[in-house]
A and B are shown apart, each in its own frame.
Chain A
């Protein structure tokens, strides 16, 4: 009774096998040919979140006709992914939320030198010394405070003054956060390791409450759990957008103070990119007037190119004064030593 099926089976099997073969060959062909096709999508690994950069990616796609596939993640995880993928990485462009993760890839020789057309549009302060990455936009370091708990007259002109005993227990820090570590690295290159360590020890002696990251500090300040905290300016704006009545104000240090450092979002083209010109076009687009105005007006950040003015709530930084002693290039590479100093100072509680 099973016999009739037996006579059919071999043919069905042959067809199935043929189909499978066609499918495999097709897949392989697609995989091999994909590298040479000029109008292939480029792949961007972005440490900057989709909510903040997605609209710009769409603008670029419309403008250039180049399709973009974006993989979002934390900058550190994506840098590790690129390192682990090695030559096989599908990424053409890497965007890092802070210079640290970008510097990590730069020290591993994973980045291409960008063409002069890209490098020329950004101040030399906001690009790698060897031309492997450029800054797109900046987040300013500020002191966020709760006006119900703090008299604005008590706020200092310099971040260095926060070690004064008058601020004992009142200033929150995020020692494990990359922006804080970038800030300490900048301080090291501005005034030396000893001065940076002394400041950290002063903050430790002042019992500075620890938080995991910027947003946690701003949240705690708004709730009144802590009076003030060292953060990037952007987070308060977001909290106020969600809850306009929340009690928080960003205090800017003096324009030439190290405390007013800009933490830049950076972009680079990977050494292994198979479409370097499309990838460079993507990076270049982020420095156009259109994109820079988006940073200033939509994400309320410090624009770095095309002469676009910063948003009103940011005090214009006298850029050269803060930056001319800082080699931004070293912000990435020097982070291991920064972490040692932070640990040694006892600020981690």
Chain B
């Protein structure tokens, strides 16, 4: 079988695989004989549905603005310390939202840390942190890296000669931006925005703690005692997700003049003069809010616990060796899961760019839309389907099946970024190499892979960060003796061992930061 045919079969299989959550929800609805029309016809459905859509739209818009602005500022402006800001900017993605939301409540709500610090300065009481705006703020701060990372990669490798040509031909800087740079950036911005939108639809941690009634919250709240409503709302979420992906693809096709030329020339940098100081201050202020503020709260908890040993209920001591073991195994599992996920979706990305077809688009639709399902739905779907397979007990709740689950959860992120990576290889280069007699493997190794590497690393980086913080699937499907940091953090937070939760979260962020820097940012952007 030639490579193209093999890829087509693989892409089709991938579509089937990613239909697993949807198939499971359909099966459950049939099994429970849920009266879908009746459930859909009441306010209990329309309120949460409207809230989900509103929140997803607002968070995606804000994340697209913030993510693009940060990418622009760190690539195209001569800001002092821009490499440091560039390396810190993706990190908020690694906060599990239940930890992030708890930290923001402790910090910003009435009587919280900020109020205690600011009260000598005459700042009055802060309002209660809840509802739409609270959920919007917290989710925007924790999801903008979905936009920032691909947009930055795009800007970093954009061939500057197009902009130079436009300038030489007499266009104003503003016209150069709107007619050349922006169209080149838009695919990355919009792909990132799509991920933010789907993630927001799937999120439970933030909307639960900040009390905003969405479809996902209803799926969770009713999961045990009103299964019919829960699975019907799950199915509805799937339909919404498919709709969102279709709209995004349609908009993408309408955009004219996307060009894929990349270059290794350093991107042009605007000299801002004195303006670079206020701009830099704005970037720093934003990172203070998105990264340092939650870290400060977690650090405060950890420090308080370390300062007051023995005052705790019971003899529960901080366990440094345990945390280190968890961190090591979490990093290892996340790295393997990231590599496997990228490899699995790469053939589909190649098909979509080089051999677009209805079947590839349909597979892509299922892969991407599945990202909107909350973790518990995907976890139960995986359990349901895995146990249909004979001898499933051999792999059930072992590492291989856990990795399969991560692929199912985060394939959408990798597929999006991998598509951009394949797009970075100009077809004429591959053809040129073939004309010169290079065989398939040699073309891949010497021409295509080097060009795809930055994009593939970005894809792997996103999956890596997501696996590091993943919770529902990790809890239900990991081997019982496999320590994972996210599970530890959840355990400590639930039983209110805040010092431990703070320390574990700091380790999670630190490990993610170091690994992202070493494996993704340094290699793809600063080489």
Write the residues of chain A forming the contact surface with B, with a CB cutoff of 8 angstroms.
27-28, 31, 43, 49-52, 55, 69-74, 76-81, 84-86, 88, 90, 100-101, 104, 176, 209-212, 215-216, 219-220, 222-225, 235, 237-239, 241-244, 297-300, 335-336, 339
Contacts and interface: CB of A to CB of B under 8 A. Distances in A.
A100 B111 CA distance: 34
User: Top 4 nearest A-B pairs by Cβ distance?
Assistant: A223-B111, A238-B496, A298-B314, A69-B480
Nearest to A244: B311
Given A238-B496, A238-B497, A298 B313 contact: yes
B495 A242 contact: no
B313 A237 contact: yes
Contact of A73 (B112, B311, B475, B492): B475
Given A88-B396, A237-B313, A243-B304, A70 B480 contact: yes
B106 interface: yes
A90 B397 contact: yes
Given A49-B491, A77-B376, A237-B313, A242 B496 contact: yes
Interface string B147-190: 00000000000000000000000000000000000000000000
Nearest to A71: B480
Contacts of A49: 491, 494-495
Contacts of A215: 496
A209 B301 CA distance: 26
Contact of A28 (B387, B394, B475, B481): B394
Interface string B205-249: 000110100000000010111100000000000000000000000
Interface in B78-116: 105-106, 109-112
A209 B211 CA distance: 11
Nearest to A175: B221
Contact of A242 (B105, B384, B480, B499): B499
A222 B105 CA distance: 13
B475 A72 contact: yes
Contacts of B208: 212
A225 to B, nearest CB: 4
A55 B387 CA distance: 32
B203 to A, nearest CB: 14
A40 B55 CA distance: 49
Interface in B356-412: 376, 379-380, 383-384, 387, 391-394, 396-397
Contacts of B211: 210-212
A73 B392 CA distance: 22
Nearest to B213: A348
Nearest to A41: B480
Contacts of A100: 224-225
Contacts of A210: 211
A31 B393 contact: yes
A220 B380 CA distance: 34
Interface string B105-135: 1100111100000000000000010000000
Q: Please report whether the interface of chain A is mostly helix, strand, loop or mixed according to DSSP.
A: helix
B394 A27 contact: yes
A216 B209 contact: yes
B113 to A, nearest CB: 9
B313 A238 contact: yes
Interface in B306-344: 308, 311-316
A299 B313 contact: yes
Contacts of A225: 109-111, 128
A55 B495 CA distance: 14
A51 B391 contact: no
B297 to A, nearest CB: 12
Contact of B476 (A50, A73, A297): A73
Given A49-B494, A73-B475, A88-B396, 7 more contacts: A43-B480, A52-B495, A80-B376, A100-B225, A104-B225, A216-B105, A298-B315
Nearest to B380: A84
Given A52-B495, A235-B496, A242-B498, A104 B224 contact: yes
A77 B472 contact: yes
12 contacts: A31-B391, A71-B476, A72-B487, A74-B494, A77-B472, A84-B384, A88-B396, A211-B211, A222-B111, A223-B110, A223-B112, A242-B499
A35 to B, nearest CB: 9
Contacts of B314: 55, 297-299
B423 interface: no
Contacts of A211: 211
B21 interface: no
B491 A72 contact: yes
Nearest to A86: B387
Contacts of B226: 336, 339
Nearest to B394: A31
Contacts of B491: 49-51, 72
A51 B316 contact: yes
A212 B211 CA distance: 7
Contacts of A239: 496
Among A84, A215, A235, A244, chain B packs the most CB atoms within 10 A around the CB of A84
A297 B394 CA distance: 41
A50 to B, nearest CB: 5
Nearest to A348: B213
Contacts of A238: 313, 495-497
B305 interface: yes
Given A73-B475, A238-B495, A219 B480 contact: no
Contacts of B498: 242
Nearest to A51: B495
